[in-house]
Amino acid sequence: MHRIGSLIIKSMIRTWKITKTKRDELRFGDKFSLDAITRQLPDGYYSTFRTYNECICVIGLSVHLRRLPNVDASSLRRNLISLLEPFRPNEARVRVVQTFQGQVYIAIEPLKNLPREVYEKGVGVETTTIHRDNPRQKSTAFIDASDSERKHIAKERIFEALLVKNWKILEGMTSNFFYMIDDILYTAQRDILLGVTRTMVIRAARGRGVEVRFRALKLNQLSAVKETFITSSSRGIVPVIQIDDARVGQGGPGKMTRMLMSAYEEYVLKHAEII
């Protein structure tokens, strides 16, 4: 169960198959996570995002939909407006899947906000050598490929896994990765999924006068890093205070990270796209 204000909402996901003429709600044996639903669908492409303003707006919705080849964006928007209605006035988390055969599915769950202490105290992450076969494409195959790692970090209460290639941290398993050295904000540019929130954070940072450079973090540079954080559409900016056994900076969210969290929230309020 998930509590929102005075309401208790079952964290059960509703899923529909969308066609040109109708939408059919589907029933699954395992329907308690978006990943579980996705694993029960045919392989394809997907994008996941959260709503704002009582399920009326989404940050970067046009970009999310462009991840799905040849999808009818106008039809998808119309379906989203209707399917989100039961979730109002609260917010929702949405996953849209387009299979390699062109079938479209929409899965929606009530948005479960992270505890405040996650943003106030930061989180620990670990590194892993799992990888995306094609980092530029958000393929459902990666959900299956990373299933053992997802179960491991859940069991160990680790917040996220960071993908490492050639001794460099590229991105998170479900997020993008940023770090700061000498007041300069860095993030990888190659061999990663170019996340929608990543783009928004870069714009928000530059809007606050922060220099942004594109470079993956070498593991042997960790001691020089003062602040790190990860970003995703559902979670925004989450401070990272520990990577494997290494403490980051002073072991708490840094000044620049906190400033960027505020800047990102302002950016979201200003640029949220009406569905």
Same domain? For 134 and 269 the reply is: yes
pLDDT band at 2, cuts 50/70/90? Answer: very low
Same domain? For 123 and 215 the reply is: yes
Same domain? For 9 and 138 the reply is: no
pLDDT band at 7, cuts 50/70/90? Answer: very low
pLDDT given for residue 11 in this prediction = 56
Same domain? For 51 and 184 the reply is: no
State the number of CA atoms in the 13 A half-sphere of 48 facing the CB: 22
Give the range of the structural domain holding residue 216, as residue numbers without chain letter. Answer: 116-273
For residues 232-261, give the mean pLDDT.
95
Give per-residue pLDDT as tens, 221-246: 999 999 999 999 999 999 999 999 99
Looking at the predicted structure, is the pLDDT value of residue 3 above 80? no
Contact 106, 83 (CB under 8 A): yes
- pTM of the predicted model, to two decimals? 0.90
Q: CATH number, domain at 104?
A: 3.30.470.10
Q: How many domains does the chain have?
A: 2
Same domain? For 135 and 29 the reply is: no
Same domain? For 267 and 244 the reply is: yes
Q: CATH number, domain at 204?
A: 3.20.10.10
Q: Return the residue matching tokens 């044996």.
A: 29
Alpha-carbon distance of 10 to 176, in angstroms, equals 29
pLDDT given for residue 116 in this prediction = 94
pLDDT band at 8, cuts 50/70/90? Answer: very low
Same domain? For 40 and 134 the reply is: no
Same domain? For 19 and 146 the reply is: no
Give per-residue pLDDT as tens, 16-51: 999 989 999 999 887 779 999 999 999 999 999 999
Give per-residue pLDDT as tens, 64-95: 999 998 899 999 999 999 999 999 999 999 99
Distance of CA 186 to the CA centre of its chain: 19
Q: Name the domain boundary from 57, 87, 110.
A: 110
Alpha-carbon distance of 40 to 33, in angstroms, equals 11
Q: Name the domain boundary from 88, 110, 132.
A: 110
Same domain? For 97 and 6 the reply is: yes
Same domain? For 84 and 157 the reply is: no
Same domain? For 167 and 103 the reply is: no
Same domain? For 82 and 67 the reply is: yes
